[in-house]
Amino acid sequence: MIKGRIDIELLKRFEKGLDPVNPHKSEIPARIIGYGEISTIFEILVHSQQGLAFKRLPIFRSHLEMDQYEELFMEYNRLLSEDIGIQVPSYGLARIYPAGGNMVIYNVQEKLPTDSICNRIIWNLDHGSIVNLVICILKAMKKVWLFNASQTRKKIGLDSQISNWAIAGGMPASNTLDEDTQFIYLDTGTPLMRIDGIEQINPDLFLRSAPSFLVWLIKWFFLDDILDRYYDFHLVVVDLIANLYKEQKGEVVPLLIETANNFFATELAQFHLKPITLKEVRSYYREDAFIWSLYLALRRFDRFLHTKILRKPYQYILPGKIRR
Ligand SMILES: Nc1ncnc2c1ncn2[C@@H]1O[C@H](COP(=O)(O)OP(=O)(O)O)[C@@H](O)[C@H]1O
Ligand SMILES: [Mg+2]
């Protein structure tokens, strides 16, 4: 459905005229609507591309890598939306082959209204409503873990940060969430899926945007741990709750821990999950915030090396200051 709306020629010109160090100076007018660890999300301000969100992944070094990624991306979206029953935005993929450097895949999604994205929604919610919203997210997550439990070989991973969820149609006018409220999972660009315990995405792809002087370190010490946590319900929920500190809603954290533990003991009793503690959430957040800000600082340093010292092109767009 989205595929037919993507103007490939325009996208080629967009990529060509893009200055990753100063993305706002792009030849074709575009606005950044989100940053991730690897991708940058744009809207292109041209009439025909209105209503589309473009997630740029400049990380591919061969056609085979692109084929594998696309196949996995399709499978992940299909599993979530059809087999598991979690809505995803309509989507399409577009390949761009720049003259030099890595090849690029744009993961194009229907652009959802900014005020339907959950990290925005919680700005205006009282604590009780935030609890309800998190219960809805836990219910959606439960579907994934039930699916995983039903499978012998396949496991699906989920990055359940609050900013990865949107409410279809935005917050209901009544300001209450109920069984019928549909939640949409946005972050399908990192298709986490294991078959017989083997991660299906080529882990090298994650490391492409990492500074070259760190790649071996991350590979040997961290990557498995980082990916493991997306398959562990307890840890995915710790991450979701700790995220509320980043979203400046730290006051609601103790209440959310209580909520999650209740949910673990009742709705998820069959999984025998360890209850979450405040200490755990706090130290998780501190560590996570430290690692990501250190990582970002090292990427900036890498960009500095490339552009100012080595005088080589630098392909990645780095976020500005992140408020924590
Ligand atoms: N389809 C979309 N419509 C509107 N905003 C989006 C869309 N997809 C992503 N965004 C914005 O960009 C942010 C990051 O997108 P996401 O897919 O989670 O990328 P990442 O994997 O890099 O975290 C989201 O939190 C949201 O604010
Ligand atoms: Mg995300």
Task: Tell me the pLDDT tens digit for each residue of 251-265.
Answer: 999 999 999 999 999
Burial of residue 197, with CB atoms counted within 10 A of its CB: 0-12 exposed, 13-18 middle, 19 or more buried? exposed
The pTM (predicted TM-score) of the whole model is 0.91
Give me the residue label for tokens 């999984």: 271
* Nearest ligand 1 atom to alpha carbon 163: 25
> Are 260 and 138 spatial neighbours (Cβ–Cβ below 8 Å)?
yes
Distance 120 CA to ligand 2 centre (A): 13
| CA 218, 216, 18, 322 torsion-angle sign | positive
pLDDT at 324: 52
In 3D, which of 308, 284, 251, 22 has the Cα closest to residue 122? 251
Distances (CA, A) of 93 to 7, 73, 108, 134, 311: 11, 9, 6, 31, 32
Q: Grade residue 69 by pLDDT with cuts at 50, 70 and 90.
A: very high
> Is the confidence at residue 95, as pLDDT, over 80?
yes
Percent of the chain with pLDDT over 70: 97
Q: How far apart are CA 85 and CA 145, in angstroms?
A: 12
| Mean pLDDT value of segment 273-284 | 97
At 5-32, the pLDDT tens digits run 999 999 999 999 888 778 778 888 889 8
pLDDT at 19: 82
Average pLDDT of the chain, as a whole number: 90
Give me the residue label for tokens 């400049």: 58
Q: Tell me the CA end-to-end span of the chain in Å, nearest whole number.
A: 37
pLDDT at 22: 81
Lowest mean pLDDT among 95-104, 142-151, 193-202, 311-320: 311-320
Q: Grade residue 323 by pLDDT with cuts at 50, 70 and 90.
A: low
* Nearest ligand 1 atom to alpha carbon 190: 21
> Is the confidence at residue 186, as pLDDT, over 70?
yes
Closest protein CA for atom 2 of ligand 1: 111
Residue-range domains of the chain with CATH: 8-110 (3.30.200), 114-309 (no CATH)
Q: Grade residue 321 by pLDDT with cuts at 50, 70 and 90.
A: low
Strand ranges (E), 91-248: 91-96, 103-110, 154-156, 165-167, 183-185, 193-195, 198-199
At 160-181, the pLDDT tens digits run 999 999 999 998 888 788 878 8
pLDDT at 37: 63
Lowest mean pLDDT among 4-13, 66-75, 172-181, 220-229: 220-229
Distance 156 CA to ligand 1 centre (A): 20
The residues pairing with 56 across neighbouring beta strands, listed in sequence order, are: 40, 106
Q: Grade residue 38 by pLDDT with cuts at 50, 70 and 90.
A: low
CB of 298 within 6 A of ligand 1: the answer is no
pLDDT at 220: 72
Q: How far apart are CA 324 and CA 305, in angstroms?
A: 27
Q: How far apart are CA 311 and CA 48, in angstroms?
A: 36
Ligand that lies nearest to the alpha carbon of residue 39, given by its number in the listed order: 1
Lowest mean pLDDT among 118-127, 156-165, 254-263, 304-313: 304-313
Q: How many residues does this entry show for the chain?
A: 324
Question: Phi/psi of residue 54, each to 5°?
Answer: -110, 120
* Nearest ligand 1 atom to alpha carbon 37: 22
